[in-house]
């Protein structure tokens, strides 16, 4: 995705609708807030998080290189 305010690419992470409440949502929120405070070369930075049309999301830095996640996840 493109963060228009800074003209940079970001990776978007969405919460599945069936997990967008209760403990799973609390964990997502906690993870996003912690990721926004941390600054370490081995941790992807969380740039922003929120909700759009009922879907929870976080915007994270794009990491170049590496493997596609499909085979890993």
- pLDDT at position 73: 58
Give the model confidence (pLDDT) of 40-57 as tens digits: 888 889 999 999 998 999
Per the rule left: phi > 0, alpha: psi between -120 and 50, beta: everything else, 69 is alpha
- pLDDT at position 70: 64
Q: What are phi and psi of 62, to 5 degrees?
A: -85, 130
Instruction: Tell me the three-class secondary structure of the chain, residue by residue.
Output: CEECCCCEEEEEEECCHHHCCHHHHHHHHHHHHHHHHCCCCCCCCEEEEEEECCEEEEEEECCCCCCCCCCCC
């Amino acid at each position: 995705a493109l963060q228009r305010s800074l003209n940079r690419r970001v990776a978007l992470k969405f919460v599945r609708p069936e997990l967008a409440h209760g403990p799973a949502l609390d964990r997502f929120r906690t993870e996003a807030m912690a990721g926004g405070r941390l600054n370490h070369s081995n941790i992807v930075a969380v740039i922003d998080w929120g909700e759009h049309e009922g879907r929870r999301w976080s915007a994270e830095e794009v990491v170049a290189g590496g493997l596609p996640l499909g085979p890993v996840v």
